[in-house]
Amino acid sequence: MKSFIGKRAIASGVSLVVLIVIVFFLSRLTGDPTDLYLPLDATTEMRQQFREINGFNDPLIVQFGRYVTDLVQGNFGQSLRQARPAMDVVLEAFVWTFWLAVITMALVTVAAIIIGSLAAFRVGGVFDRIATFFSLIGAAAPDFWLAIVAIVIFAVKLHVLPTSGTGTVWHWVLPVGVLFIRPFGLILQVVRGSMISVLSSAYVKTARAKGVRSTAIIFVHGLRNAMLPVITVIGDQSAAILNGAVVVETVFGFPGIGKLMIDSILLRDFAVVLAVIMVSALAIFIMNLLIDLAYALLDPRIRY
């Protein structure tokens, strides 16, 4: 187990280093941030001074060397825009996104498992048809459209929910609701498919011959076996939100990591972009590890 995590960490670490190098140099290709930060009437000396302070005058390779040296010492650089450590900015935003992902995916998982399992129990029944119909629409609906429609309906027409920002519980409803729909549709389909094959398996026949109740057959005998393929998709979808639900966060003005990423790229706030990437990478690494652990937890035949 330890060596498994170790190997994983090394492989992920190598990918992260390569990614940092690529992003560092690519982002510099977008141009000099000086013009974005200084007023239009700033003098050449002021511009020169800004460049000097932020080290933009040095050759790229020297800038990279400096970045790496700082990084090794645990310094992720300064945010140009906010003039404070980049990592502080990123972690603040990450906490918002983290909770957004946790709340959304917890709701998605519970709902998709219950509805998907029940749909699988009577394949082709009314409940199954309705669930399948809506889950397919949900899985296919684009979130930018959903977000705008949701704002139009709930904020503009009905005036029941705030359109953007944070502050109250009500601010969470629209972002969570919109983010919920696609993973819910997808995961419901996976749960249903997986459950159908599990319910036709030999050990379910044994359970029926034992006189086990239908609910226990589905949720005790079936579910644990059916969860294996589902977990992978839950992991993927969680990672997608953690990585920045860019569209939804931007539309709803939600101060998460997706919005931060877009803003930092537009403002050429390089240190923040790199810090976002590192935090996301770490989150995905942990996410994948959790998926593998969940596999081993659910299926005794899987051991690392």
Partner 1 sequence: MVEHLLEVRDLSVEFHTAAGTVNAVRNVSWHLDRGETLAILGESGSGKSVSASAIMNLIDMPPGKITSGTILLDGRDMLKMTAEERRLINGAKIAMIFQDPLAHLNPVYTVGWQVTEMMTTHGQTGEGAHARALELLRRVGITDPEKAMRKYPFQFSGGQRQRLMIAMAIACKPDILIADEPTTALDVTVQAQVLELLQELQQETGMGMLLITHDLGVVAEIADRVVVMNSGCIVETGNAAEVYRNPQDPYTKKLIAAAPGKGAMPEESSRLGDPLLRGVGLKKSYGAFQALKGVDFFIMPGETVAVVGESGSGKSTLARAIVRLDDPQEGQVLYRGKDLLAMTPKEMFGLRRDLQMVFQDPTQSLNPRMTVYQLISEAWVIHPDILPKAKWRNRVSELLVKVGLKPDMAERYPHQFSGGQRQRIAIARALAMEPKLIICDEAVSALDVSIQAQVIALLEGLRREFGLSYLFIAHDLPVVRDFADRVIVMKAGEIVEEGPVRQIFEAPVHPYTQALLAASLDPDPDVQAARRAARRTQEGLVFA
83 half-sphere exposure, CB direction, 13 A CA radius: 3
> Of 41-49, 83-91, 136-144, 208-216, which segment contacts partner 1 by CB under 8 A?
208-216
Instruction: Pick the binder of partner 1 from 104, 117, 189, 225 (CB under 8 A).
Output: 225
Among 2, 157, 159, 301, binds partner 1 (CB under 8 A): 301
Q: Which strand (E) or helix (H) includes residue 133?
A: helix 126-140
300 binds partner 1 (CB under 8 A): yes
Q: Does 35 bind partner 1 (CB under 8 A)?
A: no
Contact 275, 76 (CB under 8 A): yes
- Residue 195 Cβ, how far from partner 1 at the closest point, in Å? 14
Contacts 24+ apart (CB under 8 A), 171-177: 172/100, 172/103, 174/147, 174/150, 174/252, 175/100, 175/245, 175/248, 175/249, 175/252, 175/254, 176/100, 176/103, 176/104, 176/107, 177/150
- CA–CA dist 294, 292 (Å, integer): 5
Total residues interacting with partner 1, rule: CB under 8 A: 20
**Shortest approach of partner 1 to residue 185 CB, angstroms?**
27
192 vs 259, beta carbon nearer partner 1: 192
Q: Which string of DSSP letters, residue by residue, matches 207-246?
A: HHHHT--HHHIIIIIIHHHHHHHHHHHHHHHHHHHHT--H
Q: Does 209 bind partner 1 (CB under 8 A)?
A: yes
Among residues 66, 84, 129, 213, the one that binds partner 1 under rule CB under 8 A: 213
Q: Which is nearer to partner 1, 17 or 216 (CB)?
A: 216
Mark the segment that binds partner 1 (CB under 8 A) among 39-47, 75-83, 216-224, 234-242: 216-224
x-or-dash pattern for partner 1, window 155-194, by CB under 8 A? Answer: ----------------------------------------
Can you tell me which of 81, 221, 259, 268 binds partner 1, judged by CB under 8 A? 221
Q: Determine whether 258 is exposed, middle or buried from the number of CB atoms within 10 Å of its CB (0-12, 13-18, 19+).
A: buried
Q: What's the Rg (C-alpha) of the chain?
A: 24
Closer to partner 1 by CB, 167 or 211: give it.
Answer: 211
Task: Specify the 3-state DSSP secondary structure of 80.
Answer: coil
Q: Which of 13, 152, 208, 229 binds partner 1 (CB under 8 A)?
A: 208
Angle value at C-alpha 129, between 127 and 130, nearest 5 degrees: 65
With the CA atoms of 136, 137, 140 and 145 taken in that order, what torsion angle do they form, in degrees rounded to the nearest 10? -160
Smaller CB separation from partner 1, 151 or 217: 217
* 201 touches partner 1 (CB under 8 A): yes
Candidate residues 206, 215, 229, 286; the one interacting with partner 1 per rule CB under 8 A = 206
Site string for partner 1, 279-298 (x = CB under 8 A): -------------------x
Q: How far is the CB of 300 from partner 1 (least distance, A)?
A: 5
Helix (H, G, I), strand (E, B) or coil at 145: helix
List of residues contacting partner 1 (CB under 8 A): 201-203, 205-213, 216, 221, 224-225, 298-301
